[in-house]
Structure 1
């Protein structure tokens, strides 16, 4: 019994606290379409469970989903931003009502942290935006177009930052964050345009396009520009951050130039090596060819020499002289008895040339 009374008392206190401490948030939602809204919490609750609860009173609030659990709604926690988002795919007009962005603090004796808001689901919303997610580059600009029905024509129009509740009205320019915010009415088109220029990285976050008592969330994401789109303003002695960016850009450019020079040198060396290799191949082929032809020429010359020698031999034989020999026998008187029977034979040789014949 005491437990139930504590729960009832806790719910009443939280409901009263939510009404008194939080400005009423009335989110316009188009039926049948996907949607997403942010829920903010204190940094000390980063590790606590977050949940999405439906009901006008805390005691009768129905918990629809916790973080990291799926259902009709899905929650995603961003501890570094102290925000969790609630996303849905298909809401109907019957889903209009009070909802709670809540964080568990402890057991039933401790009040949970949270605040409530109202979802207005309409087939044709009184307030809407062309795009609920917009992105831009640091130093650039973005524009958001907010639409409203004829019944909200005379209602005040604002562009509000969700985190700090800072709002900008039509025609107002603000440079407190080094970015300019301008809101311009589009006469006759039931819309107004929000233009943000000179964007900074800390401009990222959630904003509300507000008309009267209706708000539509818009997520803005700012990123660093790509290298080729970097434009560095003129540096001054007090622009330390600009000096750092300029130095980094200079180092990057020098590195790219050095890389290109190295690449060009590598290409030249490759061409030279290829040319020398081809030249060596040509020389080797020429040498091999010459060596192959040399034996053939030697054989021809040897053959020619043999034929020449043979012809010369034939000519020598044909041109040689004919030798005639005549033999004359002389008889000598015997001088003694020992050689009485011997005869002496004398021979005369006469060479007669063939040509003389």
Structure 2
């Protein structure tokens, strides 16, 4: 039982570290000779506390490198290590310059509590300084006909080394920078700033340019992949159509506004058309009436002719009947004799 009590007392200083921690990025990788900025976040109630940055894995054996209570003016462009606190955002940042491979290791950002019974709030991060190369973006993509730029970073010891741009699997395709640190032709331009980076600009991309490439500095190299996409044709068609429509619209004169004078001239034209239409209508009625009158005058004559034709036809029929009929003569006196 006493052993458990002693163990509990020994853990009390570390309990607040689990309840309210300082947080930061766990791992960093950076090229030799370059700079690095590390953010360390804390909770608002510790805004007025002293913050520090030290090298080591344990608080008791951590080598202090920078503190916020150090009133010397910090110059991040010159100093090896600089620390800045922003109580409003509850974050303090540490800037490391001109990193070497020997600077690789564990570091700690902490908030100093200043109490024997409470441990400082700390967060650990591992920094690895790499002697080699890296790419800002290892995946590149662009449309056919466009240009694209790849940025390749190298460590300090390769500043004076020759830089190369090669297509993977084809050693004869490598393009090298000259003594001035540059190369350019119709399709590729390489420029080395001699401070830790060189850029490769690919011009007038073609679909066949899709593939893997290498950025090289000395014996170091880093792989990049380029994807060239076909240029959409619908955009060009729609642009051409809209341009043609705009040209047609530009050549079509806008309608003239209707004014009092233009309306009077239009009304005169309408009146003339109305008079002409009325005259033509009356002339047509006169022609039609004359034809009807002629037909009306001819009707009695036609009826008489038809009546005469009918009588002649009847007469001819009666004459034929008389020729075929028997003639009987009646004698009144004989009739009387037979009756008696």
TM superposition score normalised by structure 1: 0.31
Q: Could you state the TM-score of these two structures normalised by the residue count of structure 2?
A: 0.33
